[in-house]
Every structure is written in C-alpha cells, then in structure tokens.
Structure 1
Amino acid sequence: MPSRTTTRTAALAAALLAGTLLSGPIAAEAQTAPAAAGALTKVASFEHQVTGVTVAKDGRIFVNFPRWTEDSAVSVAEVKDGKIVPFPDAEWNAWRNARKDELSAGDHWICVQSVVASPDGNLWVLDPATPAMAAVVKNGPKLVEIDLKTNKPARTISFDEAVAPQGSYLNDVRFSPDGKTAYITDSGASGAIVVVDLASGKSRRLLDGDPTTQPDKSVTVTYEGKPLRRPDGRGVEFSADGIALSPDGATLYWQAIKGKTLYSLPTSALTGWLTSSLVPEALSDRSLSGKVETVGENGPADGLIISRKDGRMYVTSPQDDSIKVRDLSAKGSALTTLVQDKRLRWPDTFAEGPDGTLYVTTSRIQDSAFYKPDAPAALPTDLWSIKPSATDATGSTTASPPAR
C-alpha cells in the first residue's frame, strides 16, 4: 500500500470523511408518512453522476459514482445521516486521473460501475477500471468484497486481460443464492457474460461477441423523439448491460441497452467449467449461443431486477422516463408500466430493500457531456424509491407529475 503519511493524503482523508470534498453532502428528504404504492419518493440528491445503488440486509444504502465525464472525488459511498461517506475509507477513494502513477490500481477505486449486496449480507464492488469508458487501467479491473461487520475489504478478485480486455467495460453483477458464483455483464465494445467462481477467484468470459450480448444494429436509442447522439455522430452503443438472476439462481437474464430483446440462459450451462479441469465443447460460445432463449422485447433498457418479494422483473426504460414490469410466470407476457415520470431522467440501476421497497438511480446519461458538450462535468443526479403493489403490474400507469 502507498504511504499515508503525507500531509496531502491526510488532508484529503479528513475532507473526504467529512463528506465535503467536491462531492459534497446529499439532500435526504424526511418522510412524514408512508409513500403510496406506485409513487416515487426522492431518497437523496447528489452533486455527481451516480449509477449503482444497493441496500444491505440491515438497511444500509450504498451508491457509486463512476469516472465518466469527471474525475470523481468519491467513487463508493454509504448514504448516511444525510451525507455520502466515502467507503470503506478515504484511501480507497483517493485515486485520481492526475495521480494514476502515484497510487496502485489494485487497491483503489478507479472507475466503479456497480455496488451489490450479496445474499450473505456483505457488499461487493465492481470496478471495470475504465475512466471515461476509454482505456482499461492496468491491474485495475476487480471485484471486491467488503465485510459489513468490520467495514473492511475481505477479498479482491482481480481480472486479467483474458476477462477484461481493452475495450471492455464490466457493468453489473449478480450473485447466486448459495454465494458461490457471480455473473457479470460486459457492456463494452465486445459484449460478454463473465462467470466468476467466488471460492477460487477463477473467472471465464463467455458469449464474447455473441449476437445476444452485442448492440442491436436495428435499434436506435432515442430521447424526446430524437436519436441520442454524440457530437461526432455516434449513438448509444452499449452492449450487454442489464442483468438479473431468478430467485432460485437457476436462470440468468440480460440485455443490451442498444437493444430491445431480453435473453435468458440456465445458469447450469454457464458453470460447468467450474467442476472440470477441461473446458468441454458444451461450454464453447457457439454451443452456449444455441441454448440462449428469447424471453421477450423490453425495448432499450438499462437496469433489471427480479424482486425477492413478488418474483416479477422490473425494467428501467430510459427513452420514456419509466419503470416497467414483466411477469416472468406468464410466458410471453408483455411489459406494463409501473411509473412514468419526467424526474426519472435515465433510470439506471435498481436495488431492493429488505421490505420490498425498490430503489432506482437516475444517471441522466442523455444530459451528460458525452451527448451535450456544454453540460457540466459534475452532473447532479438522484436516488428514488418506489413501493410496488400487486395491482401495479396489471397495465395501469402512474401519471407523471410536473417536473420540478
């Protein structure tokens, strides 16, 4: 580990722990009465672009801020007492683009994309280590487990170039109910599914370049009726992004943002290599591709989650500021709209609280400097909660109140 004795690092740590450096506090809105089912409630506002959110078994909320269009002062934080507190400490959050030659990439957050609480109650942090979605920082891609009893890193699983090559962007992760396996989407230039054996730390990149993990050329992501494009004409090109796991751990679901189709595959087809020293033909990308099933069409979507409470899949729909629902128990069922609201500017990532409350971040990708050159580097974003009800998936739509 690098020295922590310099005055600069000490000052940085003090400022970060006070929750005031650049990232600043969040504004948490006190609740005076329970929110009605299907109604949005603002949980927090941030001064920077947020993506991931997760809620631990004890109700602790964690978020992350990727280094996309700014050199974020805080990468991973706990939402606590109305402020974001760098997590697990200031030193892990101390890496900067300007200091990349001073601090080691393996034990600092480089460009965190996702935070997920595992079934055993610990926190896992997925760091693709790809600032600005450009070059992968050497020795940076990793999956880190933090013991929430001690708030200390418990283990780090590093990914080499075979798993996280240049052009990759490890995006989101789900954990098997038995805590043995992690499944990760790669939304980079060549999409893939990464499967990780958590006990050994071994991982394998699967369905690399398969049509089911790639952007759909027939789809153009739009916003307000217009194609969403960068100044150079490029559109939204994200590959496999949203990921969900059935409550029994038997089925994995995923889709590309630049896509419309939701795919699934039995997890048993993805994990056979864990019990064999040889890689059987059954685990070749070509063979796996033949086992992938088409579940239905979601349209361009970002976050996916299957509720532990009701077994339904919730889908974020950035094009129309909405959250939609799919009943997985009825094969071929159509999406219904849970809520459509102008305040959901690019609904991004879901989390589910112990009581079944859903949390969703709004990352405002369409407002970012990627697509609007005059946009501020630090883009304010929000965290929302919503309490679904059994009647919300019957095709009813919660109307959008005036934007504020």
Structure 2
Amino acid sequence: MKCTPIYAFVAAFVLASCAKQDATALQSDAAAAAALSADATAPATPAVGQIEIVAELDITPGNVTASKDGRVFASVHGMRRGPVQMIEVTGRNTYIPFPDEAWNAEPGSGKDVLNTPHGVVIDGLDRLWVIDHGNWMATPQPPKLLAFDINTRKLVYRHDFDKTTGPDGQILQDLAVDGERGFVYVADCGPDPAIVVVDINKNTARRFAGHPSLQAEDVELVVEGNPLLFPGPGGRMGPARVGVNPITLSADGETVYFGSMNGTSWYSVPARLFREGAADAAIARGIIRVGAKPLSDGAATDAEGNHFITNLPDNGIDMLTKDGELRPLVRDPRFLWADNAHFGQDSWLYVAINQLHRNPIFTGAGDRGVPPYLIARVWTGTPGQPGR
C-alpha cells in the first residue's frame, strides 16, 4: 500500500523520536558503565585501624617520622645498635644513611657524628629534628639537638646542651617541634624526669623538673607476660619505672601534652608558659590531667585534638579522643613494642615496632629480638599533620 504524505511524515517523526530515545539511553548506559568502572578502579578509603607494613628491617628503628611527600626516616635505637644511626627508608627492606655517611661515622668519633639519636620529627619546613642524648655508650657523649633539611641533607640548626639542661644521666629522648614559633619541647625520662624547652631563635634552653606529672607511677610494665626491668641507681636492675616519655603538641602549637611511660595519665600544659619564660611554679599550676592513657612509649596528636598512644602491654595503639574517651584503635600480635608514633600523609600514623622489651636493658639477660623489625602505618580516619 502506498502511504499518503501525512502518514509518511508521522512515520518519519516516530522513527526519529525512537532513534533519539535509543541514543539517549545508550549515552546514559555508557555514563553509568563509566561511573561503575571508575568506582571499581578508584582506591577505597582504608578502614579505621587498617595496618600496612612499610618496612621490614634488619636493624632496629627507634623513632620514625614521615614527610608531607611520603618520605620516611628513622633513628636506629641505641639499645640495639646497627651499622648506621639514622636512616631514610628507600624500600621494603632497604635504607640509606641520613643525612650522609659522615654523620653516621663511628659513635663517639667526633663532634659532628650521631651518637645515640632517638626522637625524630619533621616540621612544616621540611626540617628533620633529632635529639641525640649520647648515652648507652662506654663513654657517654654530650647531648645535642640537630635539624637537617631533608632536601639538601645539610645541617640547619644545632644546640649543644650544657650540664644544667642536659645533666649526667639524662635520657633526652622524645620531642615535639613548633617550627613556626621556633620552640622544641623535649622529654627527659632519665633519673630526674623533665621537660627541656629549646628556644630556636635565641639558641637557649630551660629545664622544668620536679613535678609529679613527670614521674613514673608505681605500676608494673608487663609485655609478653614478663614484668620489665630497668637500670636504676648504680646501674642496678630493678622494676621498670620510667618517667615522662611521650610528648606532643596541639595543631595550633598552644598546648604541650605529655605522660610517663609507667603512667596511666595524660597531661597538658599551655605552651605559652614556656615561650614566655614563666617560673616553674606558674608552669606547675598550668598542668592539668587530660585523661587516661595506657603504659606507653610514643604518642601523636592529630589536628582535631585526638591523641594516639602506643599501648605496650596490649600490643597496640589506643585513642584518647578530644572528649576524653580512651579506646583501642589497634591490637596486633606483630606490634611487639610500638615505640613511637607520628603522622604522615592524610590519616596515616607511622609507628616503629622494635621488640625493645626483648633487649638486655629491660631483661638483664641476652637479647631475644628477632628480625625483621618493622615500620608500620595505621589509618586513623582523622586529620593528621605530617611529621607530628
């Protein structure tokens, strides 16, 4: 049958509409498929508490810190020395001396060598700060605070402590850095526990000691079922009672947080009291208890005011929220002495795991440490600050 012109027009219109609808549907289907494909290939946000092993090492990391572009650095623990004293991690099982081989020469061989570097922190200006207490050697060396530019590997700051701020027996071993204002807060867990504050601008230091918050509590430190020992007066071994150890700083630099290794309380004090040179009595009045903490070695504070504190007896990390609630973040049998914690990029919290409790200084016997020693990172789900 021959169609009339009007019927032909209607038929053409219907066919064109169908074709347009089919094309639109195909475009929608393609867009949906592309979206699904993108979702399938996009990296998923890690779960809170997710653990990744960054490095498995034949040497013992002491403290670890990560830069804003993902570089990882660590001191080598003076209780289990290796061929170098400070490293940059270059792979799962590889590292290079940091800042160079000269600074990693034989400990005690000169003024410009790393003797017993311990705490390490990278600030916002890409400077790696390291506290070198110089102990655990046949001949202890004077303590010093150093900073190296991580890009040029050059020394950019040095402070040599005198006998007032770094007395005999000191163990200046953890630090928090306010690079913007120019202050470094150092925890000394030695026989006379103290917070030592270095004014970078003036290259001066002052020591705050004698307060109960700095002292160890009479609580047993038990790891892998064994109560730990520690050298006391005259080098005699006794129950481990270690004073102020972890120390951190708030995101705005206005609050210093700290606690003892053998302690169940986390404290704070206004940083301005140290910056303004307040008397010891005024600093003492400014100290308050923030909340509970586990028996710990290291800690980090995120941008929101949450605290992440290593838990030595339970092989993990706890979170003390900004509201004062203490709860577990991680429990893992590999976390055999989670030594320190510092944030890297995003919400990744970097942790050195070094089996320190198996070392003779805590056992009075032979070293039972078994390589590899680990650098791990944990996703906290909170905003961190690289290096802090």
How would you bin the TM-score normalised by the shorter chain?
Answer: 0.7 to 0.9
CA contact (8 A) 2:216 2:241 kept: yes
The 5 A counterparts of 1:3-402 are 35-70=46-81, 72-82=82-92, 83-96=94-107, 100=108, 103-104=109-110, 106-131=111-136, 136-137=140-141, 140-176=142-178, 178-206=180-208, 208-216=209-217, 218-229=218-229, 234-273=238-277, 282-284=278-280, 286-308=281-303, 310-328=304-322, 330=323, 333-372=324-363, 373-375=365-367, 380-389=372-381
- In 1, the alpha carbon distance for the partners of 2:84 and 2:44 equals 32
- Give me the whole-angstrom Cα distance separating, in 2, the residues matched to 1:262 and 1:161: 29
Q: Distance in 2 between matches of 1:179 and 1:136?
A: 32
Task: Show structure 1 runs of 4+ deviating over 6 A.
Answer: none
The Cα shift of 1:378 comes to 8.0
Q: With structure 1 as the length reference, what TM-score do the two structures score? A: 0.78
The residue identity in structure 2 corresponding to 1:166 is D
For the 8 Å contact 1:367–1:375, the answer to whether it is kept is yes
Paired letter, 1:170: L
TM-score by length of 2: 0.81
User: Are residues 157 and 233 of structure 1, via their aligned partners in 2, closer, same or farther at CA, if it must alter by over 3 Å?
Assistant: closer
By how many angstroms is 1:233 displaced?
Answer: 5.0
Structure with the larger strand share: 2
SS of aligned partner of 1:270: helix
SS of structure 2 residue aligned to 1:119: coil
CA RMSD of aligned residues (A): 2.2
Q: Do the aligned partners of residues 230 and 264 (structure 1) sit closer, same or farther apart at CA in structure 2, a change above 3 Å counting?
A: closer
Distance in 2, matches of 1:128 and 1:136, equals 9
Q: Distance in 2 between matches of 1:113 and 1:130?
A: 10
Which string of whole-angstrom CA distances, capped at 9 and with x for unpartnered residues, describes residues 16-60 of structure 1? xxxxxxxxxxxxxxxx98754322111101112221111112221
- 1:357-395 Cα offsets, whole Å, 9 max, x none, are 1111112121112234222588641110111226xxxxx
Answer yes or no: is the 8 Å Cα contact 2:64–2:350 preserved in 1.
yes
Q: 1:226 to 1:89 in 2, by over 3 A?
A: closer
Conserved 8 A contact 2:240-2:362:
no
More helix by share: 2
Larger radius of gyration: 2
Q: Secondary structure at the match of 1:290?
A: helix
Whole-Å separation in 2 of the counterparts to 1:162 and 1:378: 39
Measured in 2, the distance between the counterparts of 1:241 and 1:93 equals 25
